[in-house]
Chains A and B, each alone.
Chain A
């Protein structure tokens, strides 16, 4: 990477929002480029500066106003305090309800979903979405077999509204994996594929992680993970694997589980 490529990513690097590959590239560059190292230090100082500006906390008066609104409002929003309790509980309940009805992913799956979302976000952030750009699967598949010890099956699903953009090398579980990139409307879908050595097939499981939809399954000896900010219903229409047709029951009514921060105030 040269200075021009490094400069716009320094902030994301400092914020810990960059993928491992770019972080390593940037670290290598910082080691030999005083200019960029200086820029980074300035960014860091700017961050310190901003966090020295006041964080305005809510006053007691505001709290009181919200809990005991003016008298004419009181008639309308009678037990406001109770209603807030309900909202706060609602945030929790949403988590609890889902906890109950949707089996939470086991720890390993949860971790994997998170990595998949991280990789997805980073692929969009660092402008490193595609290593090979082609709508032709005959081009993409051989490209991968030159880089990996396996060649993922690349499907043409443009008839279903998913345009193939190309592919990319990515890292998951400490190994290089193939990322197939599709686009539907304005939304990018990353599909990660790598061999599932000796593990049994597994039906699709969908979860929503911080607003992204993640679907994972195991079929044809491969691990598959699809991720996008598409609605669950639209991602469900992605006919990549047999369990998508008909829609897998696991995919229905499934926009709930998420990271809820319990009300702390």
Chain B
């Protein structure tokens, strides 16, 4: 009976970058959601919850940045630790589709959070621009440009990676 928990967890995990912090953020968010449920007036329940999760994650990140930890660096570093040598043959080296999973994960982790969250909500949660706008509290047009810029950067990172690997 925990509504939208997977979506909430996935967003948190991609925003804060590790399992422990993600679970803390989700737990905070759900307790908060219980407390403020009275202020929920029958709008889209998933968007309402995810907006709380996002807010909690950003608060957590802000605290970390104050402690001198640059988030995306930390996130990328943690992925580096987990990174296994990836020697999968890659015949169409330039095909983004064949970028290794690790490379994609790292590239996504290195994106600024506002691009990353838009991509996660769009590509993994299959949300419409309108829903994303509601969760991230920006106009729909901003969602469109964030997605466009996020995809562009991701592409640049992935193709640069591929080029480096092949030379």
Contact = CB atoms under 8 A, between A and B. Distances in A.
A259 interface: yes
Contacts of A62: 5, 9, 23, 26-27
A86 to B, nearest CB: 8
A5 to B, nearest CB: 13
Interface in A1-39: 8, 10-12, 15, 17
B31 interface: yes
A77 B120 CA distance: 32
A58 B108 contact: no
B99 A49 contact: yes
Contacts of A84: 1-3, 30, 34
Give the secondary structure class of B's interface: helix
A56 B10 contact: yes
B151 interface: yes
Nearest to B147: A11
A51 B97 CA distance: 10
Contacts of A65: 23, 27
Give the secondary structure class of A's interface: helix
B34 A83 contact: yes
Contacts, number: 177
Contacts of A106: none
Interface string B95-115: 111010100110010000000
For chain B, the bracket of interface size reads 35 or more
Given A53-B124, A66-B2, A263-B45, A46 B151 contact: yes
A55 B10 contact: yes
Nearest to A261: B46
Interface in A200-217: 208, 210-211
Contact of B5 (A63, A98, A121): A63
B111 to A, nearest CB: 10
Given A53-B108, A57-B9, A62-B27, A265 B3 contact: yes
> Looking at B40, B130, B131, which has the most chain A CB atoms within 10 Å of its CB?
B130
Interface residues of A, number: 62
Interface in A115-150: 121, 124-125, 127
Contact of B155 (A17, A46, A83, A125): A46
A155 interface: no
Contacts of A43: 151, 155
A235 B132 CA distance: 24
A125 B33 contact: no
B108 to A, nearest CB: 6
Interface string A88-104: 10110011011000000
> Looking at A62, A65, A67, A80, which has the most chain B CB atoms within 10 Å of its CB?
A62
> Looking at B40, B96, B141, which has the most chain A CB atoms within 10 Å of its CB?
B96
A246 to B, nearest CB: 25
Nearest to A54: B105
8 contacts: A49-B158, A56-B9, A87-B3, A87-B33, A90-B37, A210-B44, A256-B41, A263-B4
